[in-house]
Structure 1
Amino acid sequence: MVVTVDGAKGIIYKGQIIFGKKTLASEISSDKVEKHYKTATKLYVNLAEPNLAFKVASQNVDGVGLLRAEFILSQIGKHPKQFLEEGKGLQFIEQLTNSISTFGKAFGKRSVIYRATDLKSNEYRNLAGGDKFEPKEANPMLGYRGAFRFIKNPDVFKLELAAIKKVRQKYPNIHLMIPYVRTVLEDFIKIGIDGISIGSNDLTMLILGTDRDNEEVASEFYELDDAVLWALERAIKTALKAGITSSICGQAPSVYPELTQKLINWGITSISVNPDAVESTRQIIYECEKKLLAKG
């Protein structure tokens, strides 16, 4: 692959570009070249579908910041406890291993952060056998899910751990994220974690008590609310002080450049966005880092 490096601007262009005395980088048509901005803040991508792994891996991303297990489980189609009841736990592990391995292979040495299953009880009930194992909850969003589920009933989590262990034997770039950590009782910093990942959508919903999917109150869902910003700043600075990584997953950084500037100023180490927002977010990060450096 041939690239052209503009050392003055810190930009890499795809293809060969000849710069003569009358040719300036600003004169190059943006629709003819693809800019590959280099940033200190890592840019990750959110993924779920194995069939998109190799296509997305070809983009200018540093890895996968959020690999959602939920889509993979939906493809498998059967409740993990149903596998266990049938004595087919190894079959579930094998299917999960194959799906996760696709991402490990596609991204090579780049990190892939696999978020352990965060299906809510109503979503689990849609899987074959799910109605036997799942409670009927009035508000599944705030119910039996996340780290609490793993602690109360670890059988399914053990299957996931077995799959992760198997995948990492061949693809050590796969890492594990624990989802929906609620309280300080589930705070693992002191016993050793590598980093934190902040879901801006859930954080905003929980702090403001607002359901963004409810049209009656959706107008009150605002990621730049002072309370949300306070929580973000505290989490990021705490991670920085503890010497661990911090990442944010959600649409906010790609929608609000001013938020991205704050995140970078606070010391966030990575931002993870959907594939269609990669290029624009990389440029936003690049411009924010330039402003930070200019301030000295």
Structure 2
Amino acid sequence: MDFQPTEDQRALRAGMRELLAGRYGREPLRAAVDRAEAGGPVVDRGLWRELGGAGFFALRLPEEAGGVGLGLPEAVLVFEEAGRALLPGPLVATELAAAGGTVPAAATGEVVVTAVDLPGFAAYLGEADAVLGGGPSLRGEPVRPVDPLTPLHRVPGAVAGDAYRTEGALLTAALQLGSALRTVELAVAYAKEREQFGQPIGGFQAVKHLCAEMLVRAETARTAVYAAAVTGEGAEVAGAKLLADAAAVGNARDCLQVFGGMGFTWEADVHLHLKRAWVRAEQWLTAAAAEEVLAEELAAGL
């Protein structure tokens, strides 16, 4: 990537955005929320297979194994788009299972693979066909989730394993980045159309400052995530995860401020970005664990 996407990489990202816009726009998103609230499944199996057919999960699988044969930079770009669309499901675990060849059918989207990617919890366990590093027989106790589209099961003592942590954290950071960029778009669009005292609220300095701070957070996180995708180094990934988590959570909160009371209502989408960002901040690499990685790297250089 050389820190700037190539023409092919930009085309890949644009293609994924077009696919998700057509298959998982606002109406399917809200339908998924309603379905989840009624106790129904969250993962759309048809869309999952469609993503598999488009190469979403097989991007890093070698061509001789039936994959696309690309690398982490390309995976980061498509995961960024999935985060932007708030696409639910254990995307990271399924991609890791496909890339590593541990669950062959994961590459085509025929199976849903989850992982114990939060300390003591597994997301989508009730809908998954396999568990990364945990075998097919892992059981857990369902708990009420923070994000309606991220159902959780408590699985005390189960761990995903350090073998997946770095790549899992990077792909999760890419999802957070996509969400952070999307909330910038939502805030700016609302600030242009919502009027107060006879003019759009985007004309007020306080709102301008909020939107500017959101953009800075998102672009800083983008630089870190793209750089970590190129190097793949643990410390770079840890820094990228910290910045992407801060951008996703901070931008969703500021977007709520721009929306005012409307942002807190159930029919708005802003709260979904905030709730998902909270969950992702705990997945694969928590802030405390990322800080430990960075501290070890700094200590090693002394």
Q: With the length of structure 1 as denominator, give the TM-score of the two structures.
A: 0.29
> Which of the two has higher C-alpha Rg?
1
Quick one: higher RCO (CA 8 Å, sep 6+), 1 or 2?
1
Q: Which has the higher strand share?
A: 1
Q: With the length of structure 2 as denominator, give the TM-score of the two structures.
A: 0.29
